[in-house]
Amino acid sequence: MNLLRLLLLLGLCLPAATVATADEVRVYRCVSSTGSVSLQDRPCSQGRQEVRDLQRPRDPAPRGVRSDAPPADAAAPRPEREVRHVFVQPPQPMYECISQDGDRYVSDSNEGNPRWVPLWATAWAPHRRPWDGRGGGIAPVRPAEVAGAEPLRGPGGYPHPPSVGVGVSLPAGSILVRDTCHALPQQEVCARLDDRRWELDRRYNSALQSERTAITREQRSIDARIAQDCGRR
């Protein structure tokens, strides 16, 4: 017989006198001469006897169910996923520019050395050769000739020679000009940086102490740019 069922049965059948307390039940353990063991609710008739007071079994307390409690099979909330943003800085561009004289130079800007230059305009002014009285030379222009009247005649009836135009340059303000620039490929940029770094190393040995400070500063700037834009250290 199952031990739990036996204990329940004993608790129902034992008289009040055999029960130690309301929460306990007394059980007799009988051992026969052959060694068999039996449990019963009354004293043993023969053999060896042991008396034990056991805790009376009880029904579990009813579980309260909250209406606002989440269902038992509800999935646990997932932890919030961490999002990281990685910003990659693009390589710094380098430009090759050509001046009006044909000189080439490199620059970090495509502005092309903007500068203001004077703007000149050409005007034409009439002019005559001095008058020699025989139809040769230049005579000054008379107002009557400018107005379109019959040209004046000199001594002997010879007309004045026609006027000659002379070009005169006059300032007409200024204009902004730039050199032509184009971007270099990144591989060419790294090569130009290497050339400049080597040139600074060569100049450092023969430079004055004051010049070496500026050379060292430029070398550090080139090394940082090579490491960032060319992936070399």
61-65, 143-147, 196-200: the lowest-pLDDT one: 143-147
Domain-located, residue 63: no
pLDDT attached to residue 61: 76
Residue 46 domain-assigned (yes or no): yes
pLDDT one-digit tens code per residue, 77-119: 777 888 887 777 889 999 999 998 899 999 999 999 999 988 8
Residues 128 and 100 occupy one common structural domain: no
Q: Which residues contact 101 (CB under 8 A, 6 or more apart)?
A: none
121 and 138: one domain?
Answer: yes
Average pLDDT of the segment spanning 32-46: 81
Domain extent for 104? 91-114+178-184
Interatomic CA distance for residues 164 and 125, integer angstroms: 8
The reply to whether 101 and 124 lie within a common domain is no
The pTM (predicted TM-score) of the whole model is: 0.44
For residues 101 and 125, membership in a common domain is answered with: no
Tens digits of per-residue pLDDT, 144-173? 444 454 555 555 555 555 555 566 778 888
What are the C-alpha distances in Å from 132 to residues 106, 123, 177? 63, 28, 50
**Domain assignment of residue 84, yes or no:** no
Is 202 part of any domain? yes
120 and 166 inside one domain = yes
Q: What whole-number distance in Å separates Cα of residue 113 and Cα of residue 211?
A: 26
Per-residue confidence (pLDDT) for residue 22, from 0 to 100: 63
DSSP 37-102: EEEESS--SSSEEEEEEEEPP-PPPPPP--TTSPPTTPPPPPPPPP------PPPPP-EEEE-TTS
Count of domains forming the chain: 4
Residues 127 and 165 in one domain: yes
- The reply to whether 140 and 129 lie within a common domain is yes
How far is Cα 72 from Cα 95, in angstroms, rounded to an integer? 68
Is position 153 within any domain? yes
Is residue 83, in this structure, part of any structural domain at all? Answer: no
